[in-house]
Amino acid sequence: MNATKPTRRYDSRLIRKTRQQPRLQRTAWGFVTIAFWGFYFYLWAPLVTALSWLLGGQLAWLQLYEYKQRVDPFIVIALPVMLVCCSVLLIAWAEYNRLRFAGKERRNPREDVSLDEIARNLGASPALAARLASGKAVTLHMDDQARPIGLTEQTLPG
């Protein structure tokens, strides 16, 4: 990485303190988010409907709801059997993958980052970065601009 070009990955100005916003404003933004998610799902509705009709959704609707008070014995037997088969297949697949990948590290190892780079990206002193790297469980103290100014090491039980 180029040492002269600053990175924005750990830019302390990007941290937002949502709990300091008024409750009404947070609630309003929550409703706005729900509305946009609803609109997003509404946009997918024609495709889902078309796929349902192509895969026999109309026939299923007729069989289950249009014929009044009529129980189809095939449905009564087939649905529980399909449920059990799908469950067994899913569990078998999960167990196969668990046995196949047991004891194997599949993630790529990451190269270590220098303490100077940690300090620069966090906006902290090199001494604080060294203490942060050596601690197992710490509470990081921040200033008003969300830059680390100190830390308290936690004692772990046992």
The DSSP code for 65 is: I
pTM, to two decimals: 0.32
Q: Are 1 and 115 in contact (CB under 8 A)?
A: no
Domain ranges, ordered by start, for the chain: 21-70, 71-101, 119-158
Residue of 143, 145, 149 lying closest to 125 (CA atoms):
149
Count of alpha carbons within 13 Å of 151, Cβ hemisphere only?
21
Q: What is the pLDDT of residue 8?
A: 56
Give me the long-range contacts of 14-17 (CB less than 8 A, separation at least 24).
15/146
Mean pLDDT by 10 residues, the chain (158 residues): 56 62 85 95 89 77 67 81 95 93 75 86 87 86 87 79
> What is residue 123's three-state secondary structure?
coil
Q: Are 146 and 15 in contact (CB under 8 A)?
A: yes
Q: What is the pLDDT of residue 145?
A: 85
Rounded (to 5) percent helix, strand, coil in the chain:
60, 5, 35
Q: What is the pLDDT of residue 70?
A: 67
Q: What is the pLDDT of residue 14?
A: 53
d(CA 155, CA 134) in angstroms, rounded, equals: 14
d(CA 117, CA 130) in angstroms, rounded, equals: 11
